[in-house]
């Protein structure tokens, strides 16, 4: 627990301090007329105190009683990072490239490269998923997904 709480305690303490400064700048107002920063100033003072308690407990308390375990299982971390990068790229390219090409690419990447499936399986599933999701969301639910590069087709 120690390491977990030390890291998170410091993070939340910094968060609270930042928000206390921000709230103070916004204006606390008076008790008759509380300002826009009033509630958040006090809430973050409470958060700061609680983070300190977490920190102090982690430092002073049961040191060495619990075996130190790695916070993250290292094995699949690269996979998670690649998946996340692909999702961010998907979001960023969605409007310029368009829903259909970008979804195809995402599935080819996830199934073919990350999951290392056979190419014909990857191709088949990617096309089927793209077509069906397009039909459900664009045609049936009229979600107005971005057309991007395929805008000229006007379907």
Partner 1 sequence: MDIFQSVLYGFQVALQPLNLVYCFFGVLIGTLVGVLPGLGPAAAIALLLPTTFKATPVSGVIMLAGIYYGAMYGGSTTSILVNIPGEAASVVTCIDGYQMARRGRAGPALGISAFGSFIAGTIAVFALTLVGPLLAGIALRFGPPEFFALMLVGIMVLTFLSSGSMLKALMMAAVGLTLGGAGMDSISGKYRFTFNIQALLDGVGLVPTVMGLFGIAEVIENLETEIKREILTAKIKNLLPNLKDWAESIWAIIRGTILGFFLGIIPGGGAIVASFASYAIEKKVSKHPEEFGKGAIAGVAGPEAANNAAAGSSFIPLLTLGIPSNAVMAIFLGALMIHGLQPGPLLMTRAPDIFWGTIVSMYIGNGMLLVLNLPLIPLWVMVLRVPYYLLYPLILLFCMIGAYSIGNNTADVIIMLIFGIVGYLLRKFRYDAPPLVLALVLGGELESSLRQSLMLSRGDFSIFVTRPITLGFLIVAFLLLVVPIITQRKKLSTLEASP
Contact positions vs partner 1 (CB under 8 A): 1, 4-5, 7-8, 12, 15-16, 19, 22, 26-27, 30-40, 43-44, 46-47, 50-51, 53-54, 71-73, 75-77, 79-80, 83-84, 87-88, 90-92, 94-95, 103, 106-107, 110-111, 115, 117, 125, 129, 133, 137, 141-145
- What's the min distance (Å) between Cβ of 65 and partner 1? 16
Signed CA dihedral, 134, 102, 127, 109: sign only: negative
Complex with partner 1: residue 72 or 120, whichever CB lies closer = 72
Residue 26 · residue 37 · CB < 8 Å: yes
CA atoms of 48 and 82, how far apart (whole Å):
34
Which of 55, 46, 57 shows the shortest CA–CA distance to 19? 46
CA atoms of 16 and 40, how far apart (whole Å):
10
Complex with partner 1: residue 1 or 123, whichever CB lies closer = 1
């Amino acid at each position: 627990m120690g390491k977990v709480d030390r890291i998170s305690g410091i993070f939340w303490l910094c968060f609270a301090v930042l928000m206390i400064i921000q709230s103070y700048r916004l204006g606390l107002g008076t008790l008759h007329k509380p300002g826009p920063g009033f509630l958040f100033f006090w809430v973050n003072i409470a958060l700061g105190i609680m983070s300190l308690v977490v920190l102090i407990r982690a430092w002073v308390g049961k040191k060495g009683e619990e075996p130190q375990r790695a916070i993250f299982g290292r094995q699949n971390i690269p996979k998670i990072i690649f998946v996340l990068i692909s999702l961010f790229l998907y979001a960023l390219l969605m409007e310029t490239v368009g829903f259909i090409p970008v979804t195809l690419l995402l599935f080819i990447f996830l199934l073919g490269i990350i999951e290392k499936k056979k190419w014909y399986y990857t191709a088949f599933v990617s096309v089927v998923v793209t077509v069906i999701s397009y039909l459900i969301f664009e045609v049936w639910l009229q979600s107005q997904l971005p057309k991007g590069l395929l805008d000229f087709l006007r379907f």
